[in-house]
A and B are shown apart, each in its own frame.
Chain A
Amino acid sequence: MAVWNYGNDINTDMLFPGKYTYTCSTAEEIKPHLLEDLDPDFAGAVQAGDIIFAGSNFGCGSSREQPALGLKAVGIKAIVARGFSRIFFRASTNQGLLLIECPEAVDAYKEGDEVTIDAAGGTITVAGTVYRFPKLPEEMMAIMKAGGLLEFTREKLKNRK
């Protein structure tokens, strides 16, 4: 498990360049371009279970969902940041990707620290210190539990019939 650590205002163009927006839509098309203009090593080295740390306003900019979809597809366990832009927060939940807003954990993290996350319990442990993060509202939790908004919607439609 690796931790990828980035700064403030990581925008959607850095996470997935706009020039691919209308040619790459599936997870397989998106994966090779993830974080291309931010960290060229990322796409080749990322592994399932990795965690991303970042500063404030993570995911600002475009409403494109490829970053959320791609990061979920490569198996990112969670993104821990000081804060997230609202569209990215929504888009990630809709993909079933866990976002953790926890400035204390971000401040505490130093390269090489061991990080563990207990999503159900709402805690993140950085180098032995436990930090709590706020629970998602019920509506978003239901989407996360279903594995994403499409799965949630399919269930809803089925139950309507």
Chain B
Amino acid sequence: MGMTFAQKVLAEKSGNDTVAVSQIVTVRPDHLLTHDNTSAIVGKIGDELEQYGIVNPDLPVIVIDHVIPAATEKNAAGHKKIREFVKKHGVKNFFDIGEGICHQVVYEKGFALPGGIILGSDSHTCSYGAVNTFASGIDRTEAAALLLTGETWLKVPPTIKITLKGKLQKHVTAKDLVLTIIGDIGADGANYCAVEFHGDVKNLTMDDRFAIANMGIEMGGKIAVFPVDAVTEEFFRAHGIDITGHPPVWADPDAAYMRELTYDLHAIEPVIAAPHTVDNVKKVGELEGTPIHQCFVGTCTNGRLSDLKTAADILKGKKISPDTRLLILPASRSILREAMKAGYIDTLVEAGGVLLPTGCGPCLGAHQGALAPGEKCLSTANRNFKGRMGCKEAEIYLASPATVAASALTGTITDPRKEA
């Protein structure tokens, strides 16, 4: 019997020839991602850090991104504590405010590599499955222990195999695909599982794959992973990332799966996750005409160059509805610069958009773009939980950048195919 991607990586990293599903192995992850929560993490282990130091200065990747620039004195003090920790312990991989959202930074800067393991104290760490990395979220306490010891246990997950066929239609995006999958299998449909994407993966761009892997946790997944192909290799080349010594890993043809699903990409339509769960998925048409007070294009799910292009193409030379507002948030400094060069930012701002700093922004309700009671937000983010954007009497709808941009023009939920 062959092995799945998860089995192969966990076998290799734990020094075993093979591992079985549910087996628990000890691994040393290649990197540990932490962000603004680093201050709380290191605060737990002050004495131990004094006594033992960190296990390896190359292990942590620290990105300040969640509340940037600091909204309050308390946030500022947290950021200061992180900078002091970084200096004191010689942390090699540190990115201060403005570099980008942690997941985009990890991926652009080449920390996520084929067959590697990254654990991060953020649930969307699963995003790096886009480049064939075994990447999963953990809590702060586990991150603290990893800083000290560099090792932890992982249970070998069962795997769901999703085979993709064909191509997406115009104005239908990877976001629509992943929301459709989550709607089908449910918010816990992949709980504890690895999710592998097979089939016509070549028809998906890296931006598409990242958006899909990013949403892996919204179906409960431990990891969501793609194979390495020419598209991935081109991404590494374009970003100057050397993958020598990191051979791609993929499942054997006779690997055993817990469940197998097939999606015809041509049949996917624009969809929306309605409040207050990500699996409450409806066709855009079912919600058309719903008034939207705030439209949001950005985040670690959909703040990449192609997302901004999609929105800019729809809004070019037009103005958003006076009954709504539009927030734009590129996922990193490099994406912001590319989008400026390409004129997308100018187009979006001219259309009425408000440009936000390259961080997590309104997504988690800690600052910027909070909602008022009774308001509805249409967002390209990954979560629509009650209270998520700072107000429990507000509603969040999740959609693709195309749907959000088309809806910004009308101030109501609009099928992007009508704005084509």
Residues of chain A at the chain B interface (Cβ within 8 Å): 9, 11-14, 17-19, 21-23, 25, 36-37, 56-57, 60-65, 68-69, 83, 85-87, 90-91, 94-95, 137-139, 148-150, 152-154, 156-157
Q: Quick check: is B346 within 8 A (CB to CB) of the other chain? A: no
Report whether A137 and B137 are in contact in the complex, using a CB–CB cutoff of 8 Å: no
A14-B386, A21-B366, A139-B24 given as contacts; is B149 within 8 A of A156 (CB)?
yes
Contacts of A137 in B (CB 8 A): 24, 155
Report whether B155 and A18 are in contact in the complex, using a CB–CB cutoff of 8 Å: no
Q: Quick check: is B74 within 8 A (CB to CB) of the other chain? A: yes
Report whether B141 and A91 are in contact in the complex, using a CB–CB cutoff of 8 Å: yes
Report whether A17 and B187 are in contact in the complex, using a CB–CB cutoff of 8 Å: no
Q: Quick check: is B410 within 8 A (CB to CB) of the other chain? A: no
Report whether B141 and A150 are in contact in the complex, using a CB–CB cutoff of 8 Å: yes
**Contact with B44, one of A9, A11, A138, A150 (Cβ below 8 angstroms):** A150
Report whether A63 and B385 are in contact in the complex, using a CB–CB cutoff of 8 Å: no
Residues of chain B at the chain A interface (Cβ within 8 Å): 24, 36-37, 40, 43-45, 48, 51-52, 66-67, 72, 74-75, 78, 120-123, 125, 137-142, 144-145, 148-149, 153, 155, 187-188, 191-192, 217, 220, 222, 277, 364-366, 370, 383, 385-388, 390, 392
A56 → chain B, closest Cβ, in Å? 6
Contacts of A83 in B (CB 8 A): 188, 191
Can you name 13 A-B residue pairings with CB atoms under 8 Å? A18-B387, A18-B388, A22-B66, A37-B386, A37-B387, A60-B220, A62-B383, A63-B121, A63-B125, A68-B139, A87-B123, A139-B153, A157-B51
A25-B40, A157-B148 given as contacts; is B139 within 8 A of A87 (CB)?
yes
In the bound assembly, the distance between CA atoms of A61 and B215 in angstroms comes to 11
Report whether A22 and B78 are in contact in the complex, using a CB–CB cutoff of 8 Å: yes
A159 → chain B, closest Cβ, in Å? 12
Report whether A17 and B383 are in contact in the complex, using a CB–CB cutoff of 8 Å: no
**Contact with A86, one of B24, B40, B44, B191 (Cβ below 8 angstroms):** B191
In the bound assembly, the distance between CA atoms of A95 and B145 in angstroms comes to 12
Residue of chain A at shortest CB distance from B72: A23
Contacts of A56 in B (CB 8 A): 188
4 smallest beta-carbon distances between A and B, as pairs = A91-B139, A57-B188, A65-B139, A18-B364
**Contact with A87, one of B43, B52, B138 (Cβ below 8 angstroms):** B138
In the bound assembly, the distance between CA atoms of A14 and B43 in angstroms comes to 25
Contacts of A85 in B (CB 8 A): 188, 191, 220
Report whether B145 and A153 are in contact in the complex, using a CB–CB cutoff of 8 Å: yes
B299 → chain A, closest Cβ, in Å? 13
A21-B66, A150-B44 given as contacts; is B385 within 8 A of A86 (CB)?
no
In the bound assembly, the distance between CA atoms of A11 and B67 in angstroms comes to 21
**Contact with A11, one of B51, B385, B392 (Cβ below 8 angstroms):** B385
Residue of chain A at shortest CB distance from B157: A86
A61-B385, A156-B149 given as contacts; is B142 within 8 A of A94 (CB)?
yes
In the bound assembly, the distance between CA atoms of A58 and B121 in angstroms comes to 19
